[in-house]
Chain A
Amino acid sequence: MTTTATTSITATSRRRRRGGLAVAALATATLAITATGVTPAAAGGGDEVIRRGNCSGSADWKLKAKTDNGRIEVEGEVDSNRNGQTWKWRIRHNGNVSARGTRSTHAPSGSFSVTRRLVDASGTDSIGWRARNPASGQVCRGSLRF
């Protein structure tokens, strides 16, 4: 079982050095798409970074980060097109679990989303998103740098 990699990035850099990182990420993502042939990702505007990808099953995931009054607002989403599925999720910040919980998909889209605010640590922040459906064993995993 494999999870998809992110496929594109659109970001307005908060810091100049992030411009270089974005270019590097774009190149990496393009290579990943070419190598695995998985789902493309969407882009966002403004001071915002968005990643999209496919989970190990039929579900899709999305991870979005944007600045919010000195913090980073992170939104993780899973769309399985089935209502009532229970998923365990967690958000990692610089490698450690910042938040975790359990959510269920709901109508009309059969999806759920989680929003949390993270403290904007010095330097580039690494943010990870993981969701697992214990019933089916399906796993969604994505990350971004902000």
Chain B
Amino acid sequence: MPDPGSPPPPGARRADKVWHVVSNPVVQFLAAGLVALLVVLVASGWFSKRAATEEAVTDARATTQLLGRSVVETALTRGVVNGNAAAVDRFDREMIARVLVGDVLRVKIWRRDGTIIYSDETALIGQRFTLDKDEVAIIDHGGTAAEVSDLSKPENRFEQRFGRLLEVYSRVWDKGGQPLMFEAYFSYDDVSRRSAEVLHAFRPITVAGLLIFLAVTAPLVYVLARRLDAAAGVRERLLLAAVEASDVERRRIARDLHDGVVQDLAGTSFALSAAARDSSGGAESSARLEELAGGVRHSLRALRSLLVEIYPPELQTEGLAAAFDDLLAPCIAAGIAVDVHVAEHADVPPQVVALVWRVGQEAVRNAQRHGRPGRLAVIVSRPDGGIRLEVVDDGVGFDLGQTPPADHLGLRGLRDLARDAGGSLHVASTPGAGTRVTLEMKRS
């Protein structure tokens, strides 16, 4: 059986507060807006980089083609192709002055057999490497191709100091009409720089647009949430009024029954008992009358339990102890061991006492209907001037993570009532280890 004296865990209260904040629609809207902002930032970054990369590669292709036609082909004499030293000197000076400027970091001119006939890295001149199919296709069919340089290739070993490079191929012709391949290397930093430029150009627009949208819509959402809260308040007041009206009606019915039928039955019971004691009718008649008196008393007890059920007793005048005694009478009759401890509560406001009663009534009903307990304890204590109700049973319990039975929904409603009244209601239960319902109301 759970310890009835232990207070609800503080983590549960923190969870309640967090849930209260998280369930706020304005907070939810702003959180969704921030998530959308992050998504937009990441997506715009990705698209900007992609667009900038494509743009940079396109520019590099165009630049390579232009340089190939306007500079390289003009200076590419037969002497250069044949390895004439003086011709290569002149070509080299032309390349350094007109091609190896700005973004172009290295150039190579290839023969179809893979021989480098010129490079500004002069150690490569005359060396031969294997060309890829794509590169041979450019020499044969023209066009351009671009790719990130593989610096592990032997022909690129001198480019490692440049870091990441973009290499672009284009076909050129020498003066004798021989097709060759012109290869230009561009720094990939330029691609990254261009990506950053595109990003910096568009990101402020995107982010500012989204922030303005959030700034404009947040007040609208706030107003809408306030209206919803107000509507919920109206509904709650209507519900309370309905409950109050129901209470009034039930109280009237209970009073009528108590003052009428109950009194009549009590009188009848006394009269029958008195008649049974009068032996003038004979022993058989007396026994019969005593039996009838017993039946009337039984009906009277049943009627009183019903009165407790349909309306709480006069809690302020008779107290919670008497009310719980009446409430638990059927449990005792069913063989359940019952403990009731109620601390003095004359100074507790009536509405709080009524809430304690309602919660206790619901918890006892649930234990009786679903828990199949052997023991049931109802304890009302006064910690720090507040009031605490604990209803503890050693029944079958249930899994809190699963949907509770329909009858348990009453506790959910009472939890809302407790929260609205400034208190808290906690249910602790484990399958096979009973249930503990705790209502905690601070001192008002």
| Cβ-defined contact, B123 with A121, below 8 A | no
Contacts of A98 in B (CB 8 A): 85-86, 89-90
Q: Which of A33-41, A88-96, A103-111 contacts B (4 or more CB under 8 A)?
A: A88-96
Interface residues of B in 328-369 (CB under 8 A from A): none
A71 interfacial contact with B, CB 8 Å: yes
Given A117-B93, A119-B92: A97 in contact with B86 (beta carbons within 8 A):
yes
The reply to whether B85 and A121 contact each other, CB–CB distance below 8 Å, is yes
Give bound CA distance, A118 to B125, whole Å. Answer: 13
Q: Which of B41-93 contact A (CB under 8 A)?
A: 79, 83-90, 92-93
- For A121, what are the chain B residues with a Cβ–Cβ distance below 8 Å? 83, 85, 88, 125
Chain B residues within 8 Å of A120, by CB: 122
Whole-angstrom distance between the alpha carbons of A70 and B87 in the complex?
17
Q: List which A110-128 residues lie within 8 A (CB) of chain B.
A: 116-122, 125
Residues of A within 8 A of B85 (CB): 93-94, 96, 98, 118-119, 121, 125
Residue contact A119 to B126, C-beta cutoff 8 Å? no
CA distance A92 to B85 in the complex (A): 9
Complex: how many Å from CA A125 to CA B125? 15
- Give bound CA distance, A98 to B85, whole Å: 8
Q: With A93-B89, A96-B79, A99-B89 known to touch, is A119 a contact of B84 (CB < 8 Å)?
A: no
- Residues in B with CB closer than 8 Å to A118 are 85, 89
- Which chain B positions have C-beta within 8 A of A99? 89-90, 93
Count residues of A near B (Cβ-Cβ below 8 Å): 18
Given the complex of chains A and B, what is the CA–CA distance between A122 and B83 in angstroms? 10
* B121 on interface, CB distance cutoff 8 Å: yes
Report whether B122 and A96 are in contact in the complex, using a CB–CB cutoff of 8 Å: no
- Nearest B residue to A95 via CB reads B86
Contact A119 B89 (CB under 8 A): yes
- Nearest opposing residue in chain A for B79, CB measure: A96
Inter-chain CA distance A99–B85, complex, in Å, is 11
Q: How far is the CA of A121 from the CA of B85 in the complex (A)?
A: 6
**Interface residue from B90, B123, B126 paired with A70 (Cβ < 8 Å):** B123
CA distance A8 to B331 in the complex (A): 129
Residues from chain A with a CB closer than 8 A to the CB of B123 are 70
Residues of A within 8 A of B126 (CB): 122
Chain A CB within 10 Å, residue with most, of B86, B87, B121: B86
Given the complex of chains A and B, what is the CA–CA distance between A17 and B79 in angstroms?
27
Is the interface on chain B under 10, 10 to 19, 20 to 34, or 35 or more residues?
A: 10 to 19
- Closest CB-CB distance, B272 to chain A, in whole Å? 130
CA A93 to CA B87, docked complex, whole Å: 9
- Which among B87, B92, B121, B125 is the interface contact of A96 at CB below 8 angstroms? B87
Residue of B whose beta carbon sits closest to that of A125: B85
Closest to A121 in B: B85
Scan B369-393; emit 1 where CB is below 8 A from any A CB, else 0.
Answer: 0000000000000000000000000
A116–B92 Cα gap in the complex (Å)?
11
CA distance A120 to B122 in the complex (A): 7
Residues of chain B lying within 8 A (CB to CB) of residue A117: 89, 92-93
Cα A47 to Cα B125 with chains together (Å)? 22
For B79, B89, B93, the residue with the greatest tally of chain A CB atoms inside 10 Å of its CB is: B89
CB-CB under 8 A from A119, the residues of chain B are 85, 88-89, 92, 122, 125
Contacts of B93 in A (CB 8 A): 99, 116-117
B191 CB → nearest A CB, Å: 27
Quick one: closest A residue to B118, CB to CB? A119
**A118–B122 CA distance with the chains assembled, in angstroms:** 10
Closest to B89 in A: A98
Complex partner residue of A116 from B84, B89, B121, B122, CB under 8 angstroms: B89
| B122, A92: Cβ atoms closer than 8 Å | no
Measured between beta carbons, the chain A residues less than 8 angstroms from B86 are 92-98
| Shortest Cβ distance from A126 into B: residue | B85
Q: Are A70 and B122 in contact (CB under 8 A)?
A: yes
Q: B87 to chain A: which residues have CB within 8 Å? A: 96
* Nearest A residue to B122, CB-CB: A70
Interface of chain A residues 72 through 105 with chain B (CB within 8 A) = 92-99
Nearest A residue to B124 via CB reads A70
- CB contacts (< 8 Å) of A71 on chain B: these are 92, 122
- Nearest residue, chain A, Cβ from B88: A119
Instruction: Give chain A residues whose Cβ lies under 8 Å from the Cβ of B121.
Output: 70
Q: Which residues of A contact B125 (CB under 8 A)?
A: 119, 121
**Distance A95 CA – B122 CA, assembled complex (angstroms):** 20
Report the Cα distance A102→B92, complex, angstroms. Answer: 21
The residue on B at minimum CB distance from A72 is: B89
A95 to B203, CA, bound (A): 61
Complex Cα spacing A71 to B126, Å: 15
Within the assembled complex, what's the spacing in Å between the Cα atoms of A125 and B89?
Answer: 12
Cα A119 to Cα B93 with chains together (Å): 9
Nearest chain-A residue to B83 (Cβ)?
Answer: A121
Closest 4 CB pairs of A and B: A96-B86, A98-B86, A98-B89, A94-B85
A-B CB contact pairs (8 Å), 15 listed: A70-B122, A93-B89, A96-B84, A96-B86, A97-B86, A98-B85, A98-B86, A99-B89, A99-B93, A117-B92, A118-B85, A119-B85, A119-B122, A121-B125, A125-B85
Interface contacts beyond A70-B123, A71-B92, A118-B89: sample of 15 additional A-B pairs, CB < 8 Å, sorted by A? A70-B122, A92-B86, A93-B85, A93-B86, A96-B79, A96-B86, A98-B85, A98-B90, A99-B90, A116-B93, A117-B89, A117-B93, A119-B122, A121-B85, A122-B126
